[in-house]
Amino acid sequence: MEKRFTYPKSEKLKSRNTINLLFSEGLSVAKYPLRLVYVRVPDAPAKLQAGVSVSKKYFKKAADRNYFKRLLREAYRLNKHLLTDAGNAYAVMLLYQTNDRLGFEEINSRTIRLFEKFMEQENANRH
């Protein structure tokens, strides 16, 4: 099957209930400076729903937060195929947790390592 590097509207995490569930019951995996909070969602409209977040604590200016959210969304879009092989439906939130201004290449490589760590953790939980 051909890999499609898209981020359609159905994959965007918008549901307030799902987001609340994510932060109340979700598990997390981290690879500095990124953290992935995730929860299994059996009745999700898409196999994978994702959101990104950059804290005001680290970047006071909205323009800076928006820039890093764009980078996170792009890294997710290019590497989400690593997550869709999981078999279950997940809601995930990708968080940028430092005030270091990393470039896209660095964020992308750390996103790949984060997703691989997530898959290892999920495979360990299944067995």
Banded pLDDT at 1 (limits 50, 70, 90): very low
3 is a domain residue: no
Q: What is the pLDDT of residue 14?
A: 92
Q: Read off the pLDDT of residues 8-17 as tens digits, 9 standing for 90 and up.
A: 898 999 999 9
Q: Read off the pLDDT of residues 76-95 as tens digits, 9 standing for 90 and up.
A: 999 988 887 657 789 999 99
Q: Read off the pLDDT of residues 13-46 as tens digits, 9 standing for 90 and up.
A: 999 999 999 999 999 999 999 999 999 988 777 7
Q: What is the mean pLDDT of residues 44-56?
A: 89
What is the chain's alpha carbon radius of gyration, rounded to the nearest angstrom? Answer: 14
Q: What is the pLDDT of residue 42?
A: 82
Higher pLDDT, 48 or 126: 48
47 is a domain residue: yes
Tokens of 22: 């994510």
1 is a domain residue: no
The CATH code of the domain that includes 41 is 3.30.230.10
Domain of residue 34 covers 10-126
Q: What is the pLDDT of residue 2?
A: 57
| Sequence letter at residue 56 | K
76 is a domain residue: yes
How many helical (H) and strand (E) elements, i.e. helices and strands, does the chain have? 4, 4
4 is a domain residue: no
Q: How many domains does the chain have?
A: 1
Percent of the chain with pLDDT over 70: 94
48 is a domain residue: yes
Q: What is the mean pLDDT of the chain?
A: 90
37 is a domain residue: yes
Look up the pTM and report it: 0.90
Q: What is the pLDDT of residue 97?
A: 94
65 is a domain residue: yes
